[in-house]
A and B are shown apart, each in its own frame.
Chain A
Amino acid sequence: MKIFLQTFGTAKKKFSNFLNSFFKKKRTRIGIYGPPNAGKTTLANRIARDWTGDAIGPVSEIPHETRRARKKEDIIISGANGSTVTMDIVDTPGVTTKIDYHEFLEFGMEKDEAIIRAREATEGVAEAMHWLREDIDGVIYMLDSTLDPFMQVNIMMIGIIESRNLPVIIVANKIDLPDAAPARIRSAFPQHPVVAISGLEGRNVEDLYETMLEYFG
């Protein structure tokens, strides 16, 4: 009987794999959005490293390090109860309404380089918005929990995401810093799930993975 169940189990698995190859569900494509320097690439790198062992892109303390959207495909996330979800993670450039090259000069950047960075960052915002319009099935919205969440760009972006009926998880990042106030973010967006993490240290990311399974699965 036991042997029969085992063979039945493997046969069932094989059969479901066979079916999946024909009726493959479109993968969920999750965009990581948020203002510049919220830690989007740090989180994207952590997700990629935790589940595939790779990295997505370089990080920097100078805003607008990511100026092109980067995609990592086929990330399989599994939860404590054994459920899994396959998703593509898109790390997007920081979305903002104002970009000024003077900001980069403070980090010791040359003027020419800073002007080019400003232009590329502007194109990056347009690209991020383009992805949101066309190709995204769910959003992780990253916020720096040491900063005021009521910035115009955040309110506007959450509004845009809501108007497209996309599932959204708000991540209150940088809880490793002493002046982090994730509660402020929770009260700012009570209509959405908020997960407080430290992308840098990896604190509480398991909680985020569980929430991702719940909302994007």
Chain B
Amino acid sequence: MPHKCTKCGREYKDGSTEILRGCASCGGKKFLYVKEEEINKDVLEEKSIEEIADESHEEVLEVVEPTVSKKREVEMYDRVETIRIVSPGSYELNLEKMAKSDERIVSVGKEGSYIIDLMSMAKEEPKKKRAKKR
């Protein structure tokens, strides 16, 4: 079944991925499923899409903006790496993470490339060792 924008009534074909970015004409984010044979019902009967929605009891589809890629640059405290090699000979140290644990993750370049020191992660926490000795 095709969709119709609830704001301006623009039609979209069944299975159209265009609507995921919002209506191309008015930028509307809400769409209604309309039966093929009733596609022009709103114009013929001079009703708004909302009224049609009430009549057909179809659920209005709301497109939600993807929020994942909004936060591009990750803050220092949020980073996973302890050491970042910005370029050869240039390093950034994540002191907060270094203070918290012995885990060493090295990030190479800008973002998304990591070298993980598994041995550093296999070590027992120093606090626990002391507790065991007692």
* Residues of A near any B CB (own CB < 8 A): 95-102, 112-116, 118-119, 122-123, 125-126, 129-130, 132-133, 153, 156-157, 160, 163
Contacts and interface: CB of A to CB of B under 8 A. Distances in A.
Contacts of B118: 95, 97, 125, 129, 153, 156-157, 160
Which 6 A-B residue pairs are closest in the complex by CB-CB distance?
Answer: A101-B112, A115-B112, A129-B121, A118-B112, A112-B69, A160-B122
B111 A97 contact: no
A122 B122 contact: no
Interface of B: 68-69, 72, 74, 80-81, 103, 105, 111-119, 121-125
B69 A125 contact: no
A101 B114 CA distance: 9
A81 B111 CA distance: 54
Given A97-B118, A118-B111, A119-B80, 6 more contacts: A99-B113, A112-B68, A116-B69, A119-B114, A122-B105, A156-B119
Nearest to A112: B69
B116 to A, nearest CB: 5
A125 B122 contact: no
Chain A contact residues, majority secondary structure: helix
A132 to B, nearest CB: 7
A97 B68 CA distance: 26
A123 B97 CA distance: 13
A119 B105 contact: no
Contacts of A115: 111-112
